[in-house]
Chains A and B, each alone.
Chain A
Amino acid sequence: GAVVSQHPSWVICKSGTSVKIECRSLDFQATTMFWYRQFPKQSLMLMATSNEGSKATYEQGVEKDKFLINHASLTLSTLTVTSAHPEDSSFYICSARDMGGNQPQHFGDGTRLSIL
């Protein structure tokens, strides 16, 4: 089945540093990937849609200069949290949709980001 790999699974870093999270579709090509944020015991909130070869589409209220998204190939999208602060601590999950037809989104295992 379709596999999405997300790396790292857990990261702890100091306030002010930047953190890059990778999302890879391992056995299919994805022109579109999605980035979600999930707070404890809450649902997933869409942050942005990552489009291969073009700029990402951000949801209302999401700072594009804070959360940089790069979708350089059909199998890789990256989310960089720039100058991270404790309020950016969260669980970040990516998903990817196969190019063909009505395929559902397949999710990575998420990245637990903790900013000290």
Chain B
Amino acid sequence: AQSVTQLDSQVPVFEEAPVELRCNYSSSVSVYLFWYVQYPNQGLQLLLKYLSGSTLVKGINGFEAEFNKSQTSFHLRKPSVHISDTAEYFCAVSLNTGRRALTFGSGTRLQVQP
């Protein structure tokens, strides 16, 4: 079975500062990796995904993530955050076969302060 660990439950950061949200996963087989963002009382929006190929993945809203197989990590980064980036961020994995159900991490609350 797969599991996902998001090491930080909350990350406060000042506007225009860089940020990194950490994600580690565990799986005995190959997986796909995702980052989703959730705004209050809304569903999830896909930020980016890693399926294969280049380990540096660029997503929407200026976010990017790097897949590191040796460290089983998929950390999310943004060089300069905005107030509007304040939200809950979820890292998720799925198998690359079968129904590909998602297993989510516990989430990281990004709080951007002026």
Contacts of A49 in B (CB 8 A): 99, 101
Contacts of A44 in B (CB 8 A): 44, 90, 102, 104
> Would A110 and B41 be within 8 Å (CB), given that A34-B102, A97-B100 are in contact?
yes
Q: Does A88 contact B (CB under 8 A)?
A: no
Q: Give A112 to B96 CA distance when docked, in angstroms.
A: 31
- Report the interface size class on chain A: 20 to 34
Interface centre among B41, B45, B101 (most CB of A within 10 A): B101
Interface of A is mostly: strand
Contacts of B100 in A (CB 8 A): 97, 105
The 10 A-B pairs with the shortest beta carbon distances in the complex, nearest first, are: A107-B43, A107-B44, A109-B43, A43-B104, A110-B43, A43-B106, A44-B104, A108-B43, A102-B51, A43-B107
**B interface list, Cβ under 8 A from A:** 32, 34, 36, 41-46, 49, 51, 90, 96, 99-107
